[in-house]
Amino acid sequence: MTHNIKSLIAAMLTENTGTHMLDSGGASGRAWQQNAGKVVADFEAQPSATIEIWVREWQGKLTADLTPTVNVFHKLTSGLLELDNLCNEFNSNSVDDWGSDLNGVSHDGEEWLYNHGFTWNDRTCGFNTYNWENNFSQVLQGNIIERDGETYVLLQIHGGADVRGGYTDAKLFKFDDHAEDYDLYRDDCGFGVDDGCDGLTISWHGEWINGDGSPIDDDESLAFALAAGASLETPTVTIKGDGYFDF
């Protein structure tokens, strides 16, 4: 089942979601184009999280900006989601139109969901991670739906340039029994560097937290950046970390 999840997410990440002359993707700048040709092993080899570190001088002193990114392949294949027989049946159907009010779902797909006992609230089930601050490597869009007390998600991945378009067809996934829908939106991750002493660790939980569990200050941000190798001579560095996908 895990392998099927990985194959499906890899297929979504490489799905051709089209181009448009007015978007900003250029000739090959869209996510689906950058992912083209990659297979499961290529996505597995990517770090589950990275942090871009930028050092600059501001008002006579060094400052550091820290920007994390959580890899959506690892996020979505971490055990949060699974495929049951209903998911496999829905996902095997072709999508000839997006005529449904559900994102990325055809009229026939919506009818199939009704006929198989799925329910949803039109006003509250939809989401797009672009609409709030998050650090995913690609935008996720979808609808949360339910059946017999179980929670499912109709999920799309943004593979285009302009966030208003360029999404995959929706695929149906079931949430793990120990997961909640909000776990899908979490972008928690952590990083460590060697500072020549005990090492420095920071983690992202909506804000940067130090190893003692307190929000980091500017001095701690700078110390982490310098230990990671950033400087005025090398102002931008990117290091690997780990996504926290427990739920």
pTM (two decimals): 0.93
Q: What is the pLDDT of residue 21?
A: 55
pLDDT for 91-130, tens place per residue?
A: 999 999 999 999 999 999 999 999 999 999 988 899 999 9
Q: What is the pLDDT of residue 22?
A: 53
Give the C-alpha separation, 181 to 163, whole Å. 22
Q: What is the pLDDT of residue 84?
A: 97
Q: What is the pLDDT of residue 160?
A: 86
Q: What is the pLDDT of residue 50?
A: 98
**101-108 — which CB contacts under 8 Å span 24+ positions?**
102/126, 102/143, 102/145, 102/154, 102/170, 103/141, 103/142, 103/143, 103/154, 103/156, 103/167, 103/170, 104/141, 104/142, 104/154, 104/156, 104/167, 104/168, 104/169, 104/170, 105/143, 105/154, 105/170
Tens-binned pLDDT, residue by residue, of the chain (247 aa): 456 999 999 999 999 998 765 566 566 678 999 999 999 999 999 999 999 999 999 988 999 999 999 999 999 999 999 999 999 999 999 999 999 999 999 999 999 999 999 999 988 899 999 999 899 999 999 999 999 999 999 999 999 878 889 999 999 999 999 999 999 999 999 999 998 888 999 999 999 999 999 999 999 999 999 999 999 999 999 999 999 998 7
Q: What is the pLDDT of residue 122?
A: 83
